[in-house]
Amino acid sequence: MNKRFSGKTVVVTGGAAGLGRAHALAFAGEGAHLVLLDINEAGLAETRGLIEDRGSTASTHRVDMSDERQIIDFGKAILADHDRIDVLINNAGLHMGEIARGFSGMGLAKWQHFFTVNSFAPLLLAEAIQPALAKAKGIIINKSSMASYNPATAYGITKATLNIFTHAMATQFAADDIRCVGIAPGLMATEAAQQGVDPENWEKLKAMQYVKRQGTAEDIANLAIFLASDEGSFINNQVILCDGGNMMRGWRG
C-alpha cells in the first residue's frame, strides 16, 4: 500500500505522550521517520517502541523547550543528520493545571515560563531547523487551543500569542516555500487536557459541542496528516479549530 509520508522526516515536540504521541503514530503509520523531542525520556522510549512496532523508525531527543540553548543545540545536531525535514509539529506546551483559572497574581517568572514554552519555543525551533524545512518545502504545524479564542487565562493568552506567531511565521517563511498553519483543538480525551478542568465543568463544556462525542487525540493527528499531505498543500497561514463546533456555542471557559 502506498504510504503518503514514506521517505519523509517528521519532527514532533512533546512526543512522549498524549497528542504528541498520537501525531507520531499517525505519521509513522504513513511511513514517516519520526524525530521526537520531550523531557520525559521514558515516555519517548515508549513512543519509539510503538513506532517501531508499526514498522517505522524514530530517534528520540531530550530537549527542554523552555531552554533556548537546548533548542539551538538540537537544531544544530539535527541539521547535521538530516538535510531535509518535511514536517515540524510544534506540539509541546504547558498549562500547569490552569486552563480554566484566571491569571491574577501569577508573577513575572511564571508568565515568562508560560510564554517561553507555549509561544516562543515553536518559533525558536522553526528558525533552528529552517534550512532543512526549506530544502523539503515543508510545513510547520503549531498546536494552539480553542482557549486561544477566549483568552481569559494565562494558557489562553499564550495560545492566542501562538496564533499570531503562526501568521507571522507563515509570512516570514513563505520565501522558502515553507507553510505554517495552526490547529486549535477543543476538548480532547487526553490526560493533559483534563488536568485543568474539573469534571463537572468538563461535562458542561462537552455538552456545548455540536458533535456529541468526546474529541480524541487521533482527531487532531488526522487533521495534521491532511494538512501536511499533498491534499492539504494549498492551505497556509490559517489556524483551524477542531472542536466539534464548541466555539460556535460561545465557550465561556
- Cell reading at 211: 458533535
127-142 core/surface letters (b: 16 or more CB in 10 A; e: else):
ebbbebbbbbebbbbb
Of 5, 74, 114, 155, the catalytic one is 155
Q: Is position 155 annotated as part of the catalytic site?
A: yes
- How many angstroms separate the CA atoms of 208 and 211, rounded? 9
What are the angstrom distances between the C-alpha of 192 and each of 101, 123, 172, 195, 243?
Answer: 15, 22, 31, 5, 16
Catalytic amino acids?
A: 155
